[in-house]
A = this chain, B = another copy of it.
Amino acid sequence: MAALDLFGRRWNLRIVWELQHGPVGFRALQQRCDNMSSSVLRQRLTELLDAHLVTQQPDTAYTLTDLGHGVYQALRPLARWSDAWASALGEDGEH
């Protein structure tokens, strides 16, 4: 239930999603997230750091922990579903 609360906050899902490919720096991460506000990004990152989903490397780059990588795995069915969702909505509006 706490998970639904954490991920119910804007950008948290997206940030985990964008960190899947490996360590990313602060400003680069911001750009990947549609240039979201830097203030909110920092806020979200501390939340994810506290939740032990994200770690900060010696070179200050951010990356997923093992736990965080588990989230990404758990998120993949949702990504697969979103494809079905998109096509279902697409058939709606056409013709």
Question: Which positions in A face B, CB cutoff 8 Å?
Answer: 1-5, 7-14, 17, 51-52, 67, 70-71, 73-82, 84-86, 88-89, 92
Contact = CB atoms under 8 A, between A and B. Distances in A.
Contact of A8 (B1, B2, B9, B74): B9
A4 B8 contact: no
A3 B71 contact: no
B3 A8 contact: no
A93 B2 CA distance: 16
Copy total for this chain: 2
Those 7 A-B pairs whose CB atoms lie nearest each other, nearest first: A3-B82, A74-B81, A74-B77, A74-B78, A8-B10, A4-B13, A4-B14
A52 B3 contact: no
A17 B79 CA distance: 17
B88 A52 contact: yes
